[in-house]
């Protein structure tokens, strides 16, 4: 867990530095890094995953094969900022892209939209260099709200299965309408009809 915390601190520093630099961009008028959250997998969860994947319970396995050992989620206000943030992160030294799952442009069957990056994070310790797998998720504030609700319903044990299925279908429809709405928000921002604070207020009201 000390190792995981060290890795997470490194990843957080990279992203938070980008957030601080974005604050200096007065031309944009707002900071696209609206919310940053992070987490590291607990020891018990890592061991449980080893069992589930039928692999040896060892630090070598965890450090080299589990991309969810550490993770960071970036929530932005506008849809087009998702890929801009993605590009900024992948330009940083010490981050190597392994796999990109672009559910923004290619949503899942249930309507889920988010951008997932599986990366290798380079850590330096004296003359030793190691690369650790990590996951970065980037999504909008509206996507984050919708799929947080879906996650609760999906894993809540006392929800009737038929009702959960019905709600899942409704969420898929809502996700499609939400995407079109967010595309319109970008257009309105570009002509100066709305601001980032307006979008933040909308998302807060929607909750």
Q: Is the pLDDT of residue 44 over 80?
A: no
Structure confidence at residue 160 (pLDDT): 75
CA dihedral sign of residues 55, 59, 126, 6: positive
Q: What is the pTM of this model?
A: 0.86
pLDDT category, 50, cuts 50, 70, 90? low
In order, the DSSP letters of 36-92 are EEEEE--HHHHHHHHHHHT---SHHHHHHH-TTSEEEEEEESSTTHHHHHHHHHHTS
Domain coordinates of the chain in residue numbers? 2-141, 145-206
Helix axis angle for 2-23 and 81-90, nearest 10°, is 120
Residue-level pLDDT at 168 = 81
pLDDT band at 67 (very low <50, low <70, confident <90, very high): low
* Segment 130-146 mean pLDDT: 92
CATH fold for the domain made of 2-141: Beta Polymerase; domain 2 (3.30.460)
Average pLDDT over residues 29-41: 89
With beta carbons less than 8 A apart as the criterion, state whether 41 and 121 touch: no
Q: 200 with 140: CB under 8 angstroms?
A: no
Mean pLDDT of 28-39: 91
> What is the distance between the alpha carbons of residues 146 and 113, in angstroms, rounded to a whole number?
10
Span 181-197, pLDDT tens digits = 999 999 999 999 999 99
* Residue labelled with tokens 């061991």: 47
Question: Confidence band (pLDDT; 50, 70, 90) for 162?
Answer: confident
Give the H or E element holding residue 191.
Answer: none
Q: Quick one: CA dihedral 189, 195, 197, 203, positive or negative?
A: negative
- Tell me which of 91-100, 164-173, 176-185 is least confident: 164-173
The whole-number pLDDT of residue 3 equals 75
The three-state secondary structure class of 35 is strand
Most confident of the following: 37-41, 45-49, 121-125, 183-187: 183-187
Average per-residue pLDDT in the chain? 85
């Amino acid at each position: 867990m000390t190792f995981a915390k060290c890795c997470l601190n490194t990843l957080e520093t990279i992203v938070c530095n980008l957030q601080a630099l974005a604050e200096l961009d007065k031309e944009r008028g707002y900071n696209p890094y609206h919310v940053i959250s992070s987490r590291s997998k607990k020891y018990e969860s890592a061991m449980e995953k080893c069992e589930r994947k039928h692999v040896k319970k060892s630090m070598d396995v965890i450090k080299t094969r589990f991309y969810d050992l550490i993770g960071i989620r970036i929530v932005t206000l506008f849809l087009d900022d998702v890929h801009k943030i993605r590009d900024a992160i992948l330009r940083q030294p010490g981050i190597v892209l392994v796999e990109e799952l672009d559910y923004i442009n290619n949503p899942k069957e249930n309507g889920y939209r988010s951008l997932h990056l599986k990366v290798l994070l380079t850590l330096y310790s004296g003359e030793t260099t190691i690369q650790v797998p990590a996951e970065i998720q980037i999504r909008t504030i509206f996507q984050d709200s919708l799929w947080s609700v879906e996650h609760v319903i999906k894993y809540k044990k006392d929800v009737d299965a038929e009702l959960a299925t019905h709600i899942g279908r409704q969420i898929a429809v809502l996700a499609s309408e939400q995407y079109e709405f967010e595309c319109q928000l970008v257009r309105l921002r570009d002509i100066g009809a709305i601001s980032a604070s307006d979008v933040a207020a909308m998302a807060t009201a929607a909750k």
